Amino acid sequence: MLRIPVRLRRCGKEVEAYALLNTGFESDEPVVAVPPEVASELGLRYGREVMFRGPTLTYGIVYLGERVEVVVSMNNECRCVEAYVAIAPGEDEVILSAKCIELLGIVIDLKHRRWWFS
């Protein structure tokens, strides 16, 4: 697993956090899963309830929220993507979907626990 520093922005509010890069979190659109506390800090409202299936046939429920800007910086380079929010009760960290990782141009080297922009 690899976590990177990110900033989440919405309507003039900003939260800094470490986000888990989860290439197994597949979606058609960029999605960032956030704990309820982060959603509250950003002023997000709970939207439609959605059931998902995770690895090893685990199931869970998230609430779709509005979109946020996900900002990642490294070595004076900054990249941003607008992503849908999945508010995840019981989750304690921010998680970037594979599509979010792809659109940000993040390359992951798990063996050496490094990442960079493509």
Residue 22 pLDDT grade (very low, low, confident, very high; cuts 50, 70, 90): very high
- pTM score, whole prediction: 0.93
Summary mean pLDDT of the chain? 94
3-113 CATH fold: Cathepsin D, subunit A; domain 1 (2.40.70)
Q: SS3 of 101, please?
A: helix
